[in-house]
Structure 1
Amino acid sequence: MPSISVPGLFRGRKAWAWLAAGIVLLIVLVNAMSAIFGGMARTNAGEIGVVRNGGPLDNNNIRQVMDPSSGLTWTGLYSSVHKYPAQQRFYTITAQGSGDKPGVDIVHVPSSDGVDMGIEGTLYFNLNLKHDVIKRFDDKFGTRKFTLGKDTYYPWDGDKGWSAFLDQIIRPVIDNDLRVQIGNFRCADLVSSCALVQNSAAVPGQTPAAAPQANGTANNNNISKIQDAINTSLAADLKETLGDEFIVNLRFNLVRITMPQNVQDAVNKAQAAYAQVSEMQAKAAQSQALVAQAQAEAQANEARQKGYTACPACAQIDIMKSIPPNVTTFAPGQGFSITAPAAGTKP
């Protein structure tokens, strides 16, 4: 059996110890370099950053705020940066999608006369960038998640996180304000064609009455009133709901108001009926005009004939005047004819 010397065994164990120590040192260096480089951050022109402490031995308090377009900044080891939009943002409610999400999304609120109105519009706003305000915003909303579909996100988790925050916090306030303001007007005050079905008394077997006159100018004024009221009330309601003036420079544009499909179908039928009435009235007026024209022509012919009876020569004169210029010979009969003189000759 071969023998192993003690010095040789010691040298082998020492080599393994150095190797293990090197591996541990490499891991420590990698983590240290990662932490050091991870402690540097910057913001783009369209975002503001709220820096929070991190790490196993540190608290999670706010460390600092990074303004838009900041240079490379030391944020501390294991700190996290919550980046929020610093430019004007918008929240769209439309049949083509809401905000950054696909799909149909319309606010349905009743008018004062009980018609379910579909509202489409866009809210423009800015996030308050004052450092003390944005810190309070991050404390209140940046530390909790919001649901979007089947997933949850922080407000600073990109566009999805911001959309989730708007859907759960901002959208209910918009819906409530629209419900209050739209409830102050009748359907016809907002959509002119609504008057076609509300003011028409459709009686079976009777011809529909003439279409009621819609006041488009009044409708536009009412929509402007709604926009102004929403712009005023939204600012106050959001401040009360959020607990601070986190959202500023609000402006709501009311883009479109639609009626339920059954009401729209009734409007289309009413418009078709009124169009038929208008067509019949036009045909009747045209027939009356033709009758009046025929009566006038008959009266004129009768008067003309009386004149010719009293003055036979006048009849011949009118006949001569009515001869076309391209006729060179006129022969009414009984050996009587008139020939126009040749060109270049004097009569």
Structure 2
Amino acid sequence: MAKGNKVLLTIVSTNSDMHSILKALILSKNVNLNLIVDSENCCNNYFIIHQFESEIDNLNLVNTEKTEDFQIQDSINEIEELCNDLDIPLSLDTKIMSDDYNIKIVQDDLMKIKASVGSVVEKINYNKNQIKKLSVYRENLDCIIDKTIELNKVLNMKYFECEIGLLSHDDGISLKDYYENISAVILKIGSINSIAKDIYMIIYPKQFEENRDVIKSLNWNKLQVPEELYGNLADIIGQIDKEIKVFQNNIDELSGIIELNREKYKDSLLKIYNFLKLEEEIDEISNRIDNGDNVFALNVWIQNHEVDKAKELISKVSNQFFIKERTEEEIDIAVPTKLDKDLF
């Protein structure tokens, strides 16, 4: 672009109007600007801040929008997780925002939605986790060759300890070196090819505790099996399949409840999400703004022909502001080659 078509505005106003001004600038579709301009790289705003504070009458010191216990990022994470569970795609859309929406309403709406569907989502996730755990059990047990082994009996012998666990192929070879030095029966009873490990059963007298140290030295990974299930492996796998089916039926039933609530809360969740993302953007920018006790100064690059539009935009949300204009030639800093048309 030709030099001289951009202007650096320094917008000065009260801290109580900061939120409204930033919101108006971010949501503006008619002003082509760049809000992220660090003062330390272009100018010192503290003189103009203190001058404005000393001259302005009747400072409006009412703090708006903020509540100390409201964590924007935590709430965004909640919304994203909830919408993921409800299968609601998230998107940014300023059209669904309204001027009367505020943090208090967001908190109330979010609390109502969580109270309505939160417990259902928790139950679904619980059932999913149970299926995941049982599926791992099943996969491991299915890799044991002899399905007639009764785990409950071999794992609870009176005079012998029995452990079933996993070793890599290399550690399995190393285990053979200990055969003559430990009082144990070592049996390879299966393999899990997906993780390149073999399943071993090691049986030894309870008084020979040193065997446990040998096992641990070989990166022994004890095989997790459901202790509450009885019978041989074939029976246990059958019981696991039945339990998985019960949990899946629970999920299907609960998903019906979710389906009924998806459309009911979709618009509210999208509205809350957009509001929070806007607040996140405002927070990010406000953290880079120069502040006095009651006044702030914001540097904004803008197209020269859009300065009047920006002033009109700010005048609609604040009656206590001052704008200083400087051209590219007046400031010895790099000028952005492209300004953001849509910041949000």
TM-score, normalisation: structure 1: 0.20
TM-score, normalisation: structure 2: 0.20
Larger radius of gyration: 1
Whose relative contact order is higher, 1 or 2, with alpha carbons under 8 Å and at least 6 apart?
2
Q: Considering fraction of residues, name the structure with more strand.
A: 1
